[in-house]
């Protein structure tokens, strides 16, 4: 019988199937956590508030509520007690997905900024001629490349099998911070227009902010990276 609630679930009320992590034996701590497959419409399973998000507004995010929700034994994913291991393995892969989104947002910021800088004229010349604007474009281009390479490396290690926890956290942390810096510069390059809903940079700015929170905040990524570094000793 499941009882409890969880806020901020992507695709809440949209998805037909949910993977829910719950304690089956709290005394065993991590080993007492299990994963369940729960279908929408199961008695005792309902939805709570849908959030009005800052960014990623195309994504439905809301709460799940379980009240005396009876789940058959065959709905346990893996075996009883496998929940924590499954959750951690899923998080590593999700982090690579997030770093891809961050790299994509940063690349889009660079693309729209380059185009705008070549079109927009001030003081009788395109703003792309100004070194201050060029430096912002240069930083964006360099950081997009670095974020892409970290993402590819983490994805390559994941495909190869074996451990990629540190690389996934590095890629996620770096790409989400690059996306934010690129979005700040993209709004800057677009000037007043960058502060309007018509400008794509305005949306990138809001979307990028979400990335430092989801699938573990930047602080949590730094903790994971430090833990993995300290565990591995000196190279
Ligand atoms: C758009 C969106 C979609 C989401 N989708 C899902 C989903 O599908 N499934 C799901 O399970 N969750 C989802 N989440 C939840 C998301 O994973 C959490 O919001 C995130 O992990 C942060 O947790 P929190 O909100 O409880 O913040 P908190 O943990 O309260 O953190 C608040 C602040 O405290 C800091 N902090 C917390 N603990 C520590 C620590 N030990 N050391 C240092 N600093 C710390 C954090 O870094 C942060 O800055 C989603 C969230 C959003 C915004």
CA 118 – CA 190 distance, rounded (Å)? 11
C-alpha 217 to ligand 1 mean position (Å): 6
All residues at 6 or more sequence positions from 96 whose CB lies less than 8 Å from its CB, including other chains: 151, 154, 155, 158, 164, 168, 171, 172
pLDDT of residue 231: 92
Superfamily of domain 2-77: Butyryl-CoA Dehydrogenase, subunit A, domain 2 (2.40.110.10)
Give the Cα separation of 103 and 177 in Å (integer).
10
Cβ atoms < 10 Å from Cβ of 225: 18
What's the pTM?
0.94
Helices H / strands E in the chain, number of each:
5, 8
Residues within 6 Å of ligand 1 by CB: 8-10, 53, 56, 61, 210, 213-217, 219-220
Domains of the chain, residue spans: 2-77, 83-232
- How confident is the model at residue 232, as a pLDDT? 85
* Cβ-contact 212, 177 below 8 angstroms: yes
Once rounded to an integer, what is the mean pLDDT over residues 221-229?
Answer: 97
Q: Which atom of ligand 1 is nearest to the CA of 56?
A: 1
Task: Tell me the average pLDDT across 136-155.
Answer: 98
In angstroms, rounded to a whole number, what is the distance separating the alpha carbons of residues 64 and 52?
16
How high is the pLDDT of residue 10? Answer: 97
pLDDT at 172: 98
158-201 confidence digits (pLDDT tens): 999 989 999 999 999 999 999 999 999 999 999 999 999 999 99
Q: How confident is the model at residue 234 (pLDDT cuts 50, 70, 90)?
A: low
- Residue pLDDT, tens place only, 9-31: 999 999 999 999 999 999 999 99
* Residue 36, Cβ density class (10 Å: 0-12 exposed, 13-18 middle, ≥19 buried): buried
Give the distance (Å) from ligand 1 centre to CA of residue 216: 6
Q: Report whether pLDDT(235) > 60.
A: no
Looking at domain 83-232, its CATH superfamily turns out to be Butyryl-CoA Dehydrogenase, subunit A, domain 3 (1.20.140.10)
DSSP string for residues in 205-229: HHHHHHHTTTTS-HHHHHHHHHHHH
User: What's the 54 CA to ligand 1 centre distance in angstroms?
Assistant: 15
Residue 205 binned pLDDT confidence (cut-offs 50, 70, 90):
very high
Provide mean pLDDT across the span 205-223.
98
Nearest ligand 1 atom to the CA of 61 is 3
C-alpha torsion 217→56→95→109, nearest 10 = -100
Residue 136 CA to ligand 1 centre (angstroms): 30
Q: Measuring from atom 21 of ligand 1, which residue has the nearest CA?
A: 216
Distance 14 CA to ligand 1 centre (A): 21
């Amino acid at each position: 019988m499941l009882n409890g609630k969880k806020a901020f679930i992507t695709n809440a009320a949209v998805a037909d199937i949910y993977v829910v992590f719950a304690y089956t034996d709290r005394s065993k701590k991590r080993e007492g956590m299990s994963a369940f497959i729960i279908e929408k419409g199961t008695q005792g399973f309902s939805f709570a508030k849908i959030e009005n998000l800052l960014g990623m507004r195309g994504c439905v995010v809301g709460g799940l509520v379980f009240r005396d929700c009876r789940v058959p034994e065959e709905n346990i994913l893996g075996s009883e007690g496998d929940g924590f291991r499954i959750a951690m393995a899923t998080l590593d892969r999700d982090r690579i997905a997030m770093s891809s989104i961050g790299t994509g947002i940063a690349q889009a910021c660079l693309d729209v900024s380059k185009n705008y800088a070549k079109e927009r004229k001030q003081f009788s010349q395109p703003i792309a001629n100004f070194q201050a604007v060029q430096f912002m474009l240069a930083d964006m281009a360099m950081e997009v490349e670095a974020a892409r390479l970290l993402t590819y490396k983490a994805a390559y290690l994941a495909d190869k099998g074996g451990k990629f926890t540190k690389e996934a956290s590095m890629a996620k942390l770096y790409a989400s911070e690059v996306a934010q810096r690129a979005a700040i510069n993209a709004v800057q390059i677009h000037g007043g227009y960058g502060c309007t809903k018509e400008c794509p940079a305005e949306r990138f700015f809001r979307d990028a902010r979400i990335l430092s929170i989801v699938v573990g905040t930047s602080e949590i990524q730094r903790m994971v990276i430090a833990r993995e570094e300290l565990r591995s000793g000196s190279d």
